[in-house]
């Protein structure tokens, strides 16, 4: 499939154009991508970005037969030595002949240069960027559960803006599960943004608002090439190398080297987001190897920002990502489409410029929670918690590694029930977050097959009643609430609890009275933060008894009553239900329930995708 992006003033003719469907898109899941994923992703990008300077029809240079080309002084075009290749590719896709310029060649001596072969094709009119989409199982698809990958192919001659790129979807990783659609959509947007400008290979080609290159050029029109990185070398007007003082275990501080993007809008947005006026810019990812390192925002600092290097949960495209695209010099950004990013918001310079150990230690000294990090080892049974935004059940991803972590990432002086000589093996499960542990959304798998995830606002995540151990309700009005203790399921002569507990998803509403929590057919008013709600409800011939902990009304609702407007706290209590008043004879149901417990617990996996 070939699609075009017209990312300027929007008229009906500028909308998504499907030029042709290639045989590369075959499976049902890839058809889903063609029909839904790409149209929605491209609609967002066309609304989010407009091109500053539009050129004529998109025409691509032909590749050279020898993969070597020449440049003439004051001529932006590339010339092949002797001959152009018979076929020009953009990633794995063969570029149609009518998208190509006439071949430009130079003699072996380089003295005689000119056009050769068929004339220019008509190109792609009315568009700013051509995206070639494929669905091929490539070698790269087999690496670390990659869902998709993308890159730019060619730049326009005058301002170096990408005019063509490709996106390959790995067929085995494309899901038709409705609750996974938003995650896949985010992945497609993420990959196209790489091709449009957020790429280490493009940083050296960024321009200022006047259209001048931010990185000096040679007479050839190209910046210097960094052989060790395999990239054109950017200037310090784009990225600077910064050394941080970095706390690790044992009261030791080491030097932590990072690359910081320092273009003006990114600096402004980063300082505002973290509330740190001395912040030099926004850190780029320093781990993950080729393709991840330098090509994404630092995961430790912007955990669920969509342009970090792994998909852990609830991706959002924040003002920072819109800012870097605008600072490329190629686009204007529509900041009204930026999504709210809560991770790190307003936490100050100590959070953004220090190690997570420093932050957690300081929070403990102040008797505060170590949020957004965590310090509970992921073990069985699970201690469930809530994601930072309270929209998903989560678990702390602190775990033991088979080998000691690098000294730079050894953060813990003590962990309950862990011997001192084992502490250096513990860190967060997401390595590119500098091994800092944080609470993470997860998925349930049964016999290796995906069942559902822990995001509260997707109705499809509602557990079957025989697995709904905490009387939870998933849906568009639900949030994650903490449980004081494990819920107890009772019949007249039987009791059972589920070993994994600590939080669950429950329907809530906001009103002039404040925050109301709904469990089955009963409602409970939260009067203050930390208030305990004694829950007793009947469902499917079981009585569920448990205690929920109220969040602050302001954590969930936009408008909350003032303190003097709140009712007495005892208005939220309810009378317990007698389990012996229900129908007897449900031993079979309990047996089926117990049969389903084991595979569910054994199949609980914490997933993160690249």
pLDDT in tens, 200-222: 999 999 999 999 999 999 887 88
- pLDDT of the residue at 5: 59
Rounded CA-CA distance 610/461 in Å is 23
Stated as kind and residue range, the H or E segment containing 62 is none
pTM over 0.75? The answer is yes
What is the rounded distance in angstroms from the CA atom of residue 142 to the CA atom of residue 392?
29
CA distance 561 to 46: 41
Question: What is the model's pLDDT at position 299?
Answer: 98
Highest mean pLDDT among 93-107, 376-390, 439-453: 93-107
DSSP state of 296: S
Q: Is the pLDDT of residue 16 over 80?
A: no
pLDDT attached to residue 54: 83
Instruction: Return phi, psi of residue 488, to 5°.
Output: -110, 125
pLDDT reported for residue 491? 83
User: What is the per-residue pLDDT across 511-570, written as a single tens digit (0 to 9) for each?
Assistant: 988 999 999 989 999 999 999 999 999 988 889 999 999 999 999 998 888 876 666 665
CATH number for the domain whose boundaries are 2-205: 3.10.170.20
Distance between CA 193 and CA 209 in Å, rounded? 20
Contact 577, 543 (CB under 8 A): yes
Residue 170 contacts residue 92 (beta carbons within 8 Å): no
Label residues 4-28 b or e (16+ Cβ within 10 Å = b): bbbbbeeeeebebbebeebebbeee
Bridge-based pairing state of the strands 103-106 and 78-81 = parallel
181 pLDDT above the threshold of 80? yes
Q: Is 194 annotated as a binding residue?
A: yes
pLDDT of residue 287: 95
Q: Rounded mean pLDDT of 112-137?
A: 90
Asked if the model's pLDDT at residue 7 lies above 70, the reply is no
Q: Which residues pair with 283 in a beta bridge?
A: 260
Mean pLDDT, residues 298-322: 94
Q: Is the pLDDT of residue 21 over 70?
A: no
pLDDT, one tens digit per residue, over 579-588 is 666 444 333 2
When mean pLDDT is compared over 103-117, 426-440, 530-544, the highest value belongs to 426-440
Instruction: Give the number of other CB atoms < 10 A from CB of residue 459.
Output: 12
Cα–Cα distances in angstroms (integers) from residue 531 to residues 386, 527, 567, in the given order: 17, 7, 13
Higher-confidence residue: 6 or 575?
575
The 3-class SS string of 372-417 reads: CECCCECCCCCEEEECCCCCEEEEECEEECCCCCCHHHCCCCCCCC
Q: What is the mean pLDDT of residues 601-610?
A: 29
pLDDT top residue among 368 and 148? 368
Active site residue 191: yes
DSSP string covering 341-367, please? --TTTT--HHHHHS-HHHHHHHHHHTT
Average pLDDT, the chain: 85
Listed by start position, the domains of the chain span 2-205, 225-349, 369-440, 449-605
CB-CB contact of 327 with 263 (8 Å): yes
Segment 491-498 mean pLDDT:
82
Residue 218 burial (CB count, 10 A): 10
The top-level CATH class assigned to 369-440 is mainly beta
Residues 341-353: what's their mean pLDDT? 97
- CA torsion angle for 197, 202, 207, 209 (degrees, to 10)? 20
37-88 residue pLDDT tens: 888 998 999 999 999 988 778 999 999 998 777 877 777 778 898 899 999 9
Checking if the pLDDT of 103 tops 60, the result is: yes
Question: pLDDT tens-digit profile of 259-305?
Answer: 999 999 999 999 999 999 999 999 999 999 888 999 999 999 999 99
Question: Is 207 within any annotated ligand binding site?
Answer: no
What's the chain's length in residues?
610
Report yes or no: 372 and 302 within 8 Å, Cβ to Cβ: no
| Residue 479 CB coordination number (10 Å) | 21
Task: Give residue 14's pLDDT.
Answer: 32
Give the H/E segment covering residue 488: strand 488-491
pLDDT of residue 446: 81
- Residue 608 assigned to a binding site: no
Higher pLDDT, 448 or 277: 277
Nearest to 539 by CA among 495, 491, 493: 491
Catalytic residue, from 139, 144, 191, 326: name it: 191
Q: Sorting pLDDT into bands at 50, 70 and 90, what band is 178?
A: confident
CATH for 225-349, options being 3.90.132.10, 1.20.1740.10, 3.90.700.10, 2.102.10.10: 3.90.132.10
């Amino acid at each position: 499939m070939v699609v075009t992006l017209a990312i300027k003033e929007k008229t009906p003719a500028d909308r998504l154009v499907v030029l042709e469907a290639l045989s590369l898109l075959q499976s049902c899941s890839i058809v889903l991508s063609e029909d839904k994923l790409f149209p929605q992703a491209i609609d967002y990008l066309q609304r989010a970005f407009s091109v500053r300077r539009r050129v004529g029809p998109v025409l691509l240079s032909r590749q050279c037969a020898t993969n070597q080309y020449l440049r003439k002084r004051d001529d932006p075009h590339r010339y092949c030595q002797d001959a152009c290749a018979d076929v020009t590719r953009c990633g794995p896709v063969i570029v149609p002949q009518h998208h190509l310029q006439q071949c430009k060649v130079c003699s072996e001596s380089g003295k005689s240069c000119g056009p050769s072969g068929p004339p220019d094709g008509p190109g792609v009119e009315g568009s700013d960027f051509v995206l070639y989409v494929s669905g091929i199982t490539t070698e790269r698809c087999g690496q670390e559960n990659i869902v998709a990958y993308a890159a730019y192919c060619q730049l326009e001659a005058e301002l170096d803006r990408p005019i063509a790129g490709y996106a390959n979807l790995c067929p085995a990783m494309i899901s038709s599960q409705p609750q996974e659609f938003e995650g896949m959509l985010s992945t497609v947007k993420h990959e196209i943004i790489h091709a449009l400008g957020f790429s280490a290979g493009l940083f050296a080609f960024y321009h200022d608002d006047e259209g001048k290159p931010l990185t000096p050029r040679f007479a050839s029109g190209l910046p210097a090439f960094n052989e060790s990185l395999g990239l054109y070398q950017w200037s310090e007007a784009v990225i600077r190398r910064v050394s941080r003082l970095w706390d690790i275990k044992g009261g030791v501080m080491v030097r932590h080297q990072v690359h910081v993007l320092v273009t003006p809008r990114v600096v402004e947005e980063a300082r505002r987001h973290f509330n740190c006026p001395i912040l030099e810019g926004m850190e780029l990812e320093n781990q993950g190897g080729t393709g991840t390192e330098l090509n994404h925002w630092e995961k430790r600092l912007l955990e669920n920002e969509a342009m970090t290097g792994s998909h852990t949960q609830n991706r959002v495209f924040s003002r920072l990502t819109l800012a870097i695209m605008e600072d490329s010099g190629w686009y204007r950004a529509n900041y009204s489409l930026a999504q709210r990013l809560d991770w790190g918001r307003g936490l100050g310079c100590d959070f953004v410029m220090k190690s997570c150990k420093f932050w957690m230690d300081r929070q403990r000294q102040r008797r505060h929670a170590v949020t957004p990090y965590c310090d509970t080892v992921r073990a069985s049974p699970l201690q469930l918690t809530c994601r930072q935004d309270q929209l998903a059940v989560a678990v702390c991803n602190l775990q033991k590694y088979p080998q000691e972590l690098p000294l730079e990432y050894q953060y813990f002086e003590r962990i309950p029930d862990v011997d001192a000589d084992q502490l250096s093996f513990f860190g967060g499960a997401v390595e590119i977050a500098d091994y800092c542990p944080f609470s993470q959304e997860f998925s349930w798998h049964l016999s290796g097959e995906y069942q559902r995830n822990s995001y509260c606002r997707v109705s499809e995540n509602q557990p079957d009643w025989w697995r709904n151990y905490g009387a939870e309700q998933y849906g568009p009005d639900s949030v994650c609430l903490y449980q004081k203790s494990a819920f107890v399921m009772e019949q007249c002569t039987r009791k059972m609890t589920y070993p994994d507990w600590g939080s669950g998803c429950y329907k809530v509403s906001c009103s002039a009275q404040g925050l109301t929590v709904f469990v089955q057919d009963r409602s409970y008013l939260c009067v203050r933060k930390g208030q305990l709600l004694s829950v007793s409800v009947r469902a499917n011939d079981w009585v569920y008894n448990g205690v929920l902990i109220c969040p602050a009304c302001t954590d969930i609702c936009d408008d909350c009553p003032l303190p003097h407007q709140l009712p007495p706290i005892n208005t939220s209590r309810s009378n317990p239900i007698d389990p012996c008043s229900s129908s007897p004879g449900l031993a079979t149901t309990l047996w089926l329930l117990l049969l389903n417990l084991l595979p569910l617990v054994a199949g609980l996996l914490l997933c993160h995708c690249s």
